[in-house]
Amino acid sequence: MPEDNIDHLDFEALKAQAISKPLVTHIYTADPSAHVFNGKIYIYPSHDIDAGDAFDDLGSHFAMEDYHVISMNTPQSEAIDCGLALHVNDVPWASKQMWAPDAAEKDGTYYLFFPAKDQEGIFRIGVATSQSPEGPFVPQAEAIKESFSIDPAVFKDDDGSYYMYFGGIWGGQLQRWRTNAFINEQPESPFAFLPGDNEPALCAKVARLTDDLLQLAEVPKDLVIVDENGQPLLQGDKDRRFFEASWMHKHNGKYYFSYSTGDTHYICYAIGNDPYGPFTYAGRILEPVVGWTSHHSICAFNNRWYLFYHDSILSKGVTHLRSIKVTELVHDENGKIQLIHPYKK
């Protein structure tokens, strides 16, 4: 239900049909990255504010400037705002647009990974640390070396290795790194430098992190999603190809890479045998929500799986004023994820 249909929506009816309610209503939150730390759920969302910027395809209206951490004792319990965790003014290298973050824990230290534009308008990924999952977080003085684009998602594998998955096209600038250096031509066009529809789609990136989780341990690799015949998805396959919102979880020994298709508004997933892939497209997880974006995370709690996501019903469809939600996610006996409809038929 993207924004071009907003004028025709009955928000009271959709509110009644929604399978879940906003977890918090005193602020607008989006892009929820959920983790279980110390037996509790901690959600690391972006914080939507109305900065008055006009809608454009570069996402300039998403002018988020800080992060709040949300905690829950269980997926059914009250969600608590733990307060301000990090503000862009406290990040020496960042200028604006604190977009979708993620978090990880190692040896009692908590790490907040976040994208922001640097002083030259280029998206980089930074990291901040805390001794508490609630924050506040203290940022590193510089962004992660050789980092670029948006939507970091950090996955800890069973052997203790940590991997960062990241990237987003259009306003996320991934297409501007096709030559391994930032292309600053046609800066107002989100469509410049995209592959042709018959070319392989742009890929999310993956890189193992250093032991201290503060840097990339290797040059990022393409995370290739292939079809049922083992061929890479094409850029013109907009219902299936990667756009943004990387996430990784592991179930019964298989790696599940999930992501948003962006302008077609689906959350999809692909399955692989290795954290680097390749990943075979397996289907959709979530049908379109109210609002332009769709961004999620998947988290296990007490042996049940949950999908954290957002929509714009609370703001009556305002694209950049979203609210995080949660619903149960089910893997069937074959490992396929059952499709979730955000609004009851």
Return all residues near 17 (Cβ < 8 A) that are at least 6 apart. Answer: 343, 344
In a domain, residue 340? The reply is no
pTM of the model: 0.96
Average pLDDT over the chain, rounded to an integer:
95
pLDDT of 340 strictly over 70:
yes
Gap between the Cα atoms of 94 and 64, Å rounded: 12
Structure tokens at 330: 């089910």
Give the three-state DSSP class for 174. helix
In a domain, residue 251? The reply is yes
Determine contact, residues 100/116, Cβ cutoff 8 Å. no
In a domain, residue 280? The reply is yes
In a domain, residue 334? The reply is no
If one counts the domains in the chain, the total is 1
> For position 59, which CATH number holds?
2.115.10.20
141-153 residue pLDDT tens = 999 999 999 999 9
Note the helical H segments in the chain: 11-17
Buried b (16+ CB within 10 A) or exposed e, 211-238: eebeebeeebebbbbbeeeeebbbbebb
CB atoms within 10 A of CB 157: 14
Unique residue bearing structure tokens 């249909």:
5
72-124 residue pLDDT tens = 999 999 999 999 999 999 999 999 999 999 999 999 999 999 999 999 999 99
Catalytic residue positions, numbered: 31, 244
45-62 residue pLDDT tens = 999 998 776 667 777 777
Gap between the Cα atoms of 301 and 141, Å rounded: 34
Beta strands at 153-156 and 162-166: parallel, antiparallel or unpaired: antiparallel
Structure tokens at 25: 């209503």
When pLDDT is averaged across residues 244-268 and rounded to a whole number, the result is: 98
Q: Which domain holds residue 255?
A: 3-329
In a domain, residue 341? The reply is no
